[in-house]
Amino acid sequence: MSYNDFQYQTGGNSEGQITSWSFVELPVRALDSPANLYVRLTGIADALRGDPAWDVDSIQRGSLSLTSEAILDIDDVLIASCANAGFARVDHDDSSGDGGEFGMAVDNVPHVEISAGRCSMRIHLAYSGDSDIKTLSFSADLLIFRPSLVLP
């Protein structure tokens, strides 16, 4: 299997999407960067719908795309970012007959971008055995250039 074998888009605040999130904005100044705003975005998002197919002898891989509400100015420019993700809730059925073996990992969060005031990120993950990944936690640190913060 590959990362493209399962895709799931999330956004907003209804079932199957980002269920809770928050952000904070702080003005910043740096000599070697045009960034003038630091934004920290954190939250929890629903992960996979239903109980995904599993095989105790193989590792399944996939990616999730998360998109926030419009929390930024429309003309903000992303200068740099750093994001991470983890598992907020995982269900495991001990009666599955796989000996209780299961595993999961967040491989990486390689993609963070902003567009139309929304922040989106891609999360690559893997699992094996009978593990039903219900929710993911995530955070993103963004350095942004916001033209409206530039003094005339």
Domain boundaries defined on the chain: 3-149
Q: Is 129 helix (H, G, I), strand (E, B) or coil?
A: strand
Please give the pLDDT value at position 51: 56
**% residues pLDDT > 70 (the chain):** 73
CA quadruple 60, 139, 114, 8: dihedral positive or negative? positive
| pTM listed for this prediction | 0.77
The answer on pLDDT for 15 being more than 90 is: no
Judging by DSSP bridges, how do beta strands 60-70 and 37-46 pair with one another?
Answer: unpaired
What is the per-residue pLDDT across 104-146, written as a single tens digit (0 to 9) for each?
A: 888 889 889 999 999 988 888 887 776 677 788 899 999 999 9
Contact between residue 128 and residue 58 where contact means Cβ atoms under 8 Å apart: yes
Max mean pLDDT range (6-15, 60-69, 141-150): 141-150
The order of strands in the sheet holding 18-27 is 18-27, 37-46, 131-145, 77-92
